[in-house]
Chain A
Amino acid sequence: MTGSRGAEISIRGLEKSFGLLKAVDNVSIDIPSGEFLALLGPSGSGKSTVLMMLAGFEVPTGGAVLIDGTDCTRLPPQKRNIGMVFQHYSLFPHMTVADNVAFPLKMRGMGRAERRRRAGEALEVVRLGGYGDRMPSQLSGGQRQRVALARAIVYEPRLLLMDEPLSALDKNLREEMQLEIKRLHSELGITVVFVTHDQGEALTMADRIAILRGGRIQQMSPARELYERPANLFAAGFIGEMNMIPAAWDGSAMMLCQSDRVTPPPGAFVTTPANGRATLAIRPERVQVGAAEAPGSVGATLAEVVYAGAGTLVIARLDDGTELRARVPSAGLPRLSPGERIGLTLPPDALLVYAEESAA
């Protein structure tokens, strides 16, 4: 199955309206051959609708979808040669596993013996060799999803679409399948578009992640950049934990509530605020906990200490009530009790500044 290279996708100004509701609003994505792209967003963000338009099940109300340079915007799904894995497996319950996997080959007019052989091969790829004669109902959830995967790749499509394929599986199985799909992706060199609402899944699996909200792309970047430098407050809050501290920008420093001055380095400015309200953001694992009145620290009152083995979550409040979380290694942490005054150090290279005001 080697040698099949991935398709190159170009989504241009894609729009989809349902009545007055704009489910997808001016989405443009260029996906190079062989990329693993995750569409990440809360439910109703339009991520599945984008996928359905890629697959051909929904017709866009605007924009275009190009697969390998060919305009496929209005091409019906069965003519797109796309592999697709659905959320609830969608195996044909009245066919054996082998017949399920061979179905796309049958639709392409391939002979019976050849179908049988290729289906067997595809089942080997997903490590289900020998399961061909079973019925889908005799398989576990993870096995069913692997059959669905085999069915999607059996005719060597150049593009594989997955619509929250792991959400119906339990946690252990999900992690196993994540690695399995990753492995398949690198083995086959196929282009993958993967829809998920699970940020961990997106970070683990994808080369690049597009975050959607309200039908619009909020940010599209590789996992690391997404985590370390979210493009806006929504992306910052959606991926991982993020402290968001309301602050006033006076042109040279950020003033926190109790007149603590923080001077972020130039690189911290994701968006440049005008003088006035802005938001200072920092990941909890970058906040350091120290003694009150430590030089350069921000004073806070300890609200809660949650010990969790290797790490400890420290929840503190600034004087205006803003909650700040710090995730620190448990080792070497002094004994702290709620109500105590502590100092929180915010390393300059961990700071991010947003012109917007946080909702919190």
Chain B
Amino acid sequence: MNPRAILLNAYVYAVLIFILAPIVVILPMAFSEPDYLTFPPEGFTFGWFGEFFGNSRWMKATGFSLKIALLTAVTTSVVGTMATYALMRGAGRLGTLFQGMLIAPIVVPHIALAVALYLFFKQTGLSSTVFGYVLAHSVIAMPFVVFTVAAALSSVDPTLEDAAMSCGASRFDAFRLVTLPLVLPNVLSGGLFAFILSFDEPVISFFLAGIRDKTLPRMMFDDIEQNLTPIIPAIAVLLTGISVFVLLAAALLRHAAASRTASSPDG
């Protein structure tokens, strides 16, 4: 291996360590016995997980978060796929503007978006409603769905739909039976991203939360302010686990899609 390759490897590992170190530090703290945060952890217990699953307030917040994340995933998958299709296959002049608006939430600081949504939702009565949460989370998750679906759609030949229509399919059937199956793995993986983004989204939830319904991240903030027990790292462990699982699932989906259109006898 030449010196440049070694340097590059070292650099890559340094970046990885920098990114992963905080997660690696927090994980063992979830199994620490004292009811305050310590590092290195003292003793070993699963008790904080039990505490989390046994507490109705935590469970209610988790349920609420799951509900919003699920609805956000469904909304962004459907709307995002439709929008991406329109952007890439449509001929409208407003395409660029529309694309900019869809992707803007990536560059706009979430805090700015949160304040704006807070003021707007207060006027319209959407604050702390499920619909409001889903709307807000969909806005920030939409770019990720658009990007993943666009990646798949760009590799699907538009004349396939023409071919389907020349075979007698309506425009919608051509999309449903030909284009959609080809981009579906990416639609699902975009949806999974949206799920994760919504599930542990803290900033907007902080502004939108009411007294009764709080999302899990919002509850965690409250807990950090008031108690700061190892229940927080325990939840962090669970969230990390879910994220890793979802990312793996997304990767597998795209891998399956790639091999389906590439080779193998029975697809």
| Chain A positions near chain B (C-beta within 8 angstroms) | 55, 57, 76-78, 81-84, 86, 88, 90-94, 96, 103-104, 107-108, 133-135, 137-138, 148, 151-152, 155, 161
- Also in contact, A151 and B162, with CB within 8 A (given A135-B263, A137-B263): no
Name A's interface SS: loop
**Structural contact, A104 and B167, CB atoms closer than 8 A:** yes
A44 to chain B, nearest CB (A): 19
For chain B, residues 42 to 68, give those with C-beta under 8 angstroms from any C-beta of chain A.
none
A237 to chain B, nearest CB (A): 32
CB < 8 Å neighbour of B159 from A81, A86, A94, A96: A86
CB < 8 Å neighbour of A90 from B163, B261, B262, B266: B163
A152 CB contacts on chain B under 8 angstroms: 166
A134 to chain B, nearest CB (A): 7
CB < 8 Å neighbour of A88 from B157, B260, B265: B157
**Structural contact, A92 and B159, CB atoms closer than 8 A:** no
> At the interface, yes or no: B248 with Cβ under 8 Å from chain A?
no
**Structural contact, A92 and B164, CB atoms closer than 8 A:** yes
- Also in contact, A103 and B261, with CB within 8 A (given A94-B267, A96-B267): no
B170 CB contacts on chain A under 8 angstroms: 78
Beta-carbon nearest neighbor of B261 in chain A: A93
Q: Give 17 CB contacts A-B under 8 Å.
A: A55-B166, A76-B171, A78-B170, A84-B166, A88-B159, A90-B157, A90-B163, A92-B160, A92-B164, A93-B261, A94-B261, A96-B267, A103-B169, A135-B263, A135-B264, A151-B167, A161-B166
- B147-175 interface mask toward A, CB cutoff 8 Å, 1 = contact, 0 = none? 00000000001011011111111110100
CA distance in complex: A137, B263 (Å): 6
**Structural contact, A94 and B167, CB atoms closer than 8 A:** no
**Structural contact, B265 and A138, CB atoms closer than 8 A:** yes
**Structural contact, A90 and B159, CB atoms closer than 8 A:** yes
B90 CB contacts on chain A under 8 angstroms: none
B interface size (C-beta, 8 A): 26
CA distance in complex: A133, B157 (Å): 23
CB < 8 Å neighbour of B163 from A76, A84, A96: A84
**Structural contact, A94 and B182, CB atoms closer than 8 A:** yes
A83 CB contacts on chain B under 8 angstroms: 166
B171 CB contacts on chain A under 8 angstroms: 76, 78
CA distance in complex: A293, B263 (Å): 69
A92 CB contacts on chain B under 8 angstroms: 160, 163-164, 178
B90 to chain A, nearest CB (A): 16
B165 CB contacts on chain A under 8 angstroms: 57, 76-78
B178 CB contacts on chain A under 8 angstroms: 92, 94
**Structural contact, B168 and A81, CB atoms closer than 8 A:** yes
Beta-carbon nearest neighbor of A109 in chain B: B168
**Structural contact, B168 and A57, CB atoms closer than 8 A:** no
A46 to chain B, nearest CB (A): 18
**Structural contact, B261 and A137, CB atoms closer than 8 A:** yes
Beta-carbon nearest neighbor of A90 in chain B: B163
A90 CB contacts on chain B under 8 angstroms: 157, 159-160, 162-163
> At the interface, yes or no: B34 with Cβ under 8 Å from chain A?
no
A82 CB contacts on chain B under 8 angstroms: 166
- B236-267 interface mask toward A, CB cutoff 8 Å, 1 = contact, 0 = none? 00000000000000000000000011111111
**Structural contact, A155 and B168, CB atoms closer than 8 A:** yes
**Structural contact, A78 and B265, CB atoms closer than 8 A:** no
- Also in contact, A107 and B159, with CB within 8 A (given A77-B165, A92-B164, A151-B167): no
B264 CB contacts on chain A under 8 angstroms: 135
B178 to chain A, nearest CB (A): 5
A155 CB contacts on chain B under 8 angstroms: 168
A57 CB contacts on chain B under 8 angstroms: 162, 165
> At the interface, yes or no: B181 with Cβ under 8 Å from chain A?
yes
CA distance in complex: A93, B159 (Å): 12
CB < 8 Å neighbour of B182 from A76, A93, A103: A93
B220 to chain A, nearest CB (A): 43
Beta-carbon nearest neighbor of B178 in chain A: A92
CA distance in complex: A94, B169 (Å): 17
B168 CB contacts on chain A under 8 angstroms: 78, 81, 104, 107-108, 155
CA distance in complex: A160, B38 (Å): 77
A165 to chain B, nearest CB (A): 12
CA distance in complex: A103, B169 (Å): 9
CA distance in complex: A83, B261 (Å): 25
B162 CB contacts on chain A under 8 angstroms: 57, 77, 84, 86, 90
For chain B, residues 177 to 195, give those with C-beta under 8 angstroms from any C-beta of chain A.
177-178, 181-182
CA distance in complex: A108, B167 (Å): 9
7 more A-B residue pairs beyond the given contacts A78-B171, A103-B167, A135-B263, with a C-beta to C-beta distance below 8 A: A86-B163, A90-B157, A93-B182, A93-B261, A103-B164, A104-B168, A135-B267
B177 CB contacts on chain A under 8 angstroms: 103
A76 CB contacts on chain B under 8 angstroms: 165, 171
CA distance in complex: A93, B260 (Å): 8
A86 CB contacts on chain B under 8 angstroms: 159, 162-163
**Structural contact, A107 and B261, CB atoms closer than 8 A:** no
B173 CB contacts on chain A under 8 angstroms: 107
A199 to chain B, nearest CB (A): 25
B169 CB contacts on chain A under 8 angstroms: 78, 103, 107
**Structural contact, A78 and B263, CB atoms closer than 8 A:** no
Top 9 A-B pairs ranked by shortest CB distance? A107-B168, A104-B167, A90-B163, A84-B166, A93-B261, A77-B165, A78-B165, A90-B159, A107-B169
B265 CB contacts on chain A under 8 angstroms: 133-135, 138
A93 CB contacts on chain B under 8 angstroms: 182, 261
